[in-house]
Amino acid sequence: MNQNPAWRNLLVAAVIAVGLLLALPNIFGDTPAIQVGRAAGQPLDDLAISQAETLLAAVSIETTETYTKEGRFLLTFADGETQSRAQRVLADGLGKSYIVALTRTPKTPGWMRSAGLEPMSLGLDLRGGVHFVFEIDMEVAIRQRLDILANDVSRRLREERIRRNVRVSGDEIRIRVGDPADLNRAEQLVAEFEDGLDIRRSGQGENEQIIVRMTEEQVRARQDFAVDQNMVVLRQRVDEVGVAEPVVQRQGRDRIVVQLPGVDDPSEAKGTLDARATLEFRMVCEGQNAFEAQRRGRAPLGCELFADREGQPVLLKRGTIVTGDQLIDANATYVQGSPAVNVRLNSGGAASMLRTTSENVGKPMAVLYVVQEQEIIDRDGEQVAVTRTDREVINVATIQGVFSSSFQITGLDAFEAPLLARLLRSGALAAPLYIVEERTIGPSLGQDNIDSGFTAIQIGLVCVILFMALYYRVFGIVADLALFANLVLIVAILSMLQASLTLPGIAGIVLTVGMAVDANVLIFERIREELRNGNSPQASIHSGYEKALSTIADANVTTLIAAVVLFAFGTGPIKGFAITLSVGIATSMFTSIIGTRTVINLLYGGRRLDRLPI
């Protein structure tokens, strides 16, 4: 009686062995390191790796290990001082085309890395890193939507040969038509663009005009779109930075939180995440004197005055052919030895570019580089944040033929081409973002959190072990072994999933330590009750496990439901707690029921017993 089949013993042994193997990388700790990657996000080639090694050898800086990982070159060092020296040498020697970032990397042996074994990923509060809070300029988001709608309305009225004057004023679009008889037709055409628009008329006679406004529901929808689109773009830009386990989540109506664990120097990440660069493709105003317009400080009707990179004035038409949010891919390349960017457009952008190039072969088209920045100014003694938009013509070229979805941008230098390609590839922001909060969490603070958390785990573990061993004797020692196995399996699963371990996650593990022996307490008390009722030791063991199973399952399932709800509706730290709690419940069910019964059966199963050490 109470004998396991061989396959069950082998299953338990295999699970524990695999768990030990997956958890093993966590015992080696980490070491100071430098990560070298291409600024354009492309894999590093052997020439760059050789150059990095040569630069360090020239100044006698020794590395403890070098290897490539996911297209990036990692160099580890004995201490932080050597790491800092190496970072300065590599940053100066490799130039701006490469990202040389300080980091810490696990000291996992090479054979483990080759097998894909990695330690747990640590969250921001444990590993250290940077925390950004971005605020979206919702006024610009609404204005952009109105500008697009105004351009569409103007084009549609032109196609219907209706003379018109369409302009955006504040939060509304004002439409005047040349012939009052066309007002009804114009109003009907406007209503076809988007359902639910607030359309009304203002004025009388020749001054009568159509006023178009967005409803409150449309404004909220546009605001939600701006947040959702910007979150998508930020996630893509975080991928370009190359940070593992980042956090990108919405906060309130108009804010987004970004957390980048393990980033020691936030400047590079900030430059990529906060970038508001995009492109506009426009036709050049021909037959106009740009220098005269610059002298007068006023552009001719239908044109706007800009400057190129040499400061020379350029007149461009107001209408935009394609904007940055219509780009779907961009890659840095070289054309006849000069840096360039290959660009691909979506269907809407391609159709617009095809129509424009078909009608304007032999005419000049310009690429306008647009950067938005926020600066603080003093206004009536109060510090006010204002948006400044810089526009610069980076390229003017004659349209030699008809093209649509694929073409090249030239006129860039070797640093700007990969950077522009990376920003365009990451997508265009639906509205400008501004950093309203920036915090850097040092690795020393993270280490203090780790030490405090593991001290709590150790104290709880020792107390539980002593109680179980003293109160339940041999059976208690078996439960203690199951508790150790449970911790190993939790670490193994977190390592395998690469789920970020946070301080609340450690709290979940501490809670699991206490809860993991609950099942064994129920089982052992049932066994003792059966013994008191006069049952034999073997029958008591069998009944103890069988009769306590339903109670154990009910208790753990209800706790698991609560953990799932916490994960579904909680924020980042609460999700970390829910993950470790859920994993701990699953592993404790295995170790406390299947694991302990396997050991008890190996010790006492199939034997004639007079008493049990419980």
Percent of the chain with pLDDT over 70: 87
- The three-state secondary structure class of 567 is helix
Instruction: Provide the pLDDT for residue 15.
Output: 92
Mean pLDDT across the stretch 121-127? Answer: 73
What CATH number labels 29-107? 3.30.70.260
Please state, in angstroms and rounded to a whole number, the distance separating the CA atoms of residues 399 and 294.
25
Lowest mean pLDDT among 4-13, 88-97, 282-291: 88-97
245 pLDDT higher than 60:
no
pLDDT digits (tens, 9 = 90+) for 162-193: 888 888 888 888 888 888 888 888 888 888 77
Instruction: Provide the pLDDT for residue 411.
Output: 67
Strand partners, 342: 331, 408
Mean pLDDT across the stretch 356-382? Answer: 78
Instruction: Provide the pLDDT for residue 306.
Output: 92
Lowest mean pLDDT among 401-405, 409-413, 517-521, 577-581: 409-413
Instruction: Provide the pLDDT for residue 428.
Output: 60
Please state, in angstroms and rounded to a whole number, the distance separating the CA atoms of residues 46 and 39.
16
Lowest mean pLDDT among 306-320, 450-464, 480-494: 450-464
Instruction: Provide the pLDDT for residue 111.
Output: 85
The DSSP element (H or E) to which 368 belongs, if any, is strand 364-379
CA trace torsion 5, 7, 10, 14 (10° rounding) = -140
Instruction: Provide the pLDDT for residue 39.
Output: 55
Region(s) of the chain under CATH 1.20.1640.10 = 6-24+443-604
260 pLDDT higher than 90:
no
Contact between residue 101 and residue 88 where contact means Cβ atoms under 8 Å apart? no
Percent of the chain with pLDDT over 90: 5
Question: Residue type for 59, please?
Answer: V
Strand partners, 258: 132, 248
Instruction: Provide the pLDDT for residue 272.
Output: 67
CB atoms within 10 A of CB 385: 12
Instruction: Provide the pLDDT for residue 16.
Output: 92
Q: Which residue has the higher pLDDT, 453 or 77?
A: 77
List, as one string, the DSSP characters of 273-311.
HT--EEEEEEEB-TT--HHHHHHHT-PPTTEEEEEBTTS
pLDDT tier at 17, thresholds 50, 70, 90:
very high
Instruction: Provide the pLDDT for residue 22.
Output: 92
509 pLDDT higher than 90:
no
Greatest alpha-carbon span in the chain: 111
Contact between residue 189 and residue 157 where contact means Cβ atoms under 8 Å apart? yes
Mean pLDDT across the stretch 315-336? Answer: 80
Q: In the CATH scheme, what architecture does the domain 138-218 have? A: 2-Layer Sandwich (3.30)
Mean pLDDT across the stretch 498-527? Answer: 82
Strand partners, 385: 376
Region(s) of the chain under CATH 3.30.70.260 = 29-107
pLDDT tier at 97, thresholds 50, 70, 90:
low
Please state, in angstroms and rounded to a whole number, the distance separating the CA atoms of residues 444 and 128.
8
Region(s) of the chain under CATH 3.30.1360.200 = 220-440
CB atoms within 10 A of CB 73: 24
Q: Which residue has the higher pLDDT, 480 or 431?
A: 480
Contact between residue 516 and residue 483 where contact means Cβ atoms under 8 Å apart? yes
Lowest mean pLDDT among 48-57, 307-316, 377-386: 377-386
pLDDT digits (tens, 9 = 90+) for 344-358: 887 778 888 888 888
592 pLDDT higher than 90:
no
| CA-closest candidate to residue 303, choices 314, 291, 292, 295 | 314
Contact between residue 339 and residue 294 where contact means Cβ atoms under 8 Å apart? no
444 pLDDT higher than 60:
no
Domain 6-24+443-604 CATH class label: mainly alpha
Please state, in angstroms and rounded to a whole number, the distance separating the CA atoms of residues 593 and 555.
14
Contact between residue 24 and residue 117 where contact means Cβ atoms under 8 Å apart? yes
Contact between residue 477 and residue 499 where contact means Cβ atoms under 8 Å apart? no
Mean pLDDT across the stretch 24-51? Answer: 78
12-16 contacts: CB < 8 A, separation 24 or more? 12/594, 12/595, 12/598, 15/489, 15/590, 16/485, 16/488, 16/489, 16/595
Contact between residue 107 and residue 34 where contact means Cβ atoms under 8 Å apart? no
598 pLDDT higher than 60:
yes
pLDDT tier at 374, thresholds 50, 70, 90:
low
Please state, in angstroms and rounded to a whole number, the distance separating the CA atoms of residues 575 and 502.
9
Please state, in angstroms and rounded to a whole number, the distance separating the CA atoms of residues 28 and 18.
18
Q: Which residue has the higher pLDDT, 461 or 364?
A: 364
Please state, in angstroms and rounded to a whole number, the distance separating the CA atoms of residues 540 and 534.
9
Question: Residue type for 421, please?
Answer: A
Mean pLDDT across the stretch 121-129? Answer: 73
212 pLDDT higher than 80:
yes
Mean pLDDT across the stretch 214-232? Answer: 84
pLDDT tier at 335, thresholds 50, 70, 90:
confident
- The three-state secondary structure class of 514 is helix
Lowest mean pLDDT among 125-129, 139-143, 418-422: 418-422
Contact between residue 515 and residue 486 where contact means Cβ atoms under 8 Å apart? no
220-440 under CATH 3.30.1360.200, yes or no:
yes
pLDDT tier at 241, thresholds 50, 70, 90:
low
443 pLDDT higher than 60:
no
pLDDT digits (tens, 9 = 90+) for 555-588: 888 888 988 888 887 766 787 788 888 898 889 8
257 pLDDT higher than 60:
yes
Q: How far is CA 365 from the centre of its chain?
A: 36
Q: Which residue has the higher pLDDT, 38 or 337?
A: 337
| Encoded tokens for 486 | 């449970």
What are the φ and ψ backbone dihedral angles of 256, each rounded to 5 degrees? -130, 130
Place of tokens 């034997």: 607
